Amino acid sequence: MKVTVDQDACIASGQCVLTSSEVFDQRDEDGTVVLLTSNPPEALSPEIHEAAVLCPARAIQVAD
């Protein structure tokens, strides 16, 4: 699985961090998404896909 984020599209809602804090974080200064790992373990797949769906800016892409 490969995860990418578009920091320019991010609106800092934080849904990704609430859904999968092992993969996503937010910058302190503006709340923009920070990708902690672009190749997370398969076990995290359900929550990563949920984070992508919940993102209001559609700033998360997941390729299986």
- What domains, with CATH codes, occur in the chain? 2-63 (3.30.70.20)
- What is the per-residue pLDDT for 8? 98
Rg (CA), the chain: 10
pLDDT band at 10 (very low <50, low <70, confident <90, very high): very high
How far separated are the first and last CA of the chain, in Å rounded? 4
Q: Which two tokens stand for residue 8?
A: 């320019």
Mean pLDDT of the residues in the chain: 97
Q: What is the 3-state secondary structure (H, E, C) of the chain?
A: CEEEECCCCCCCCCHHHHHCCCCEEECCCCCCEEECCCCCCHHHHHHHHHHHHHCCCCCEEEEC
The pTM score is 0.94
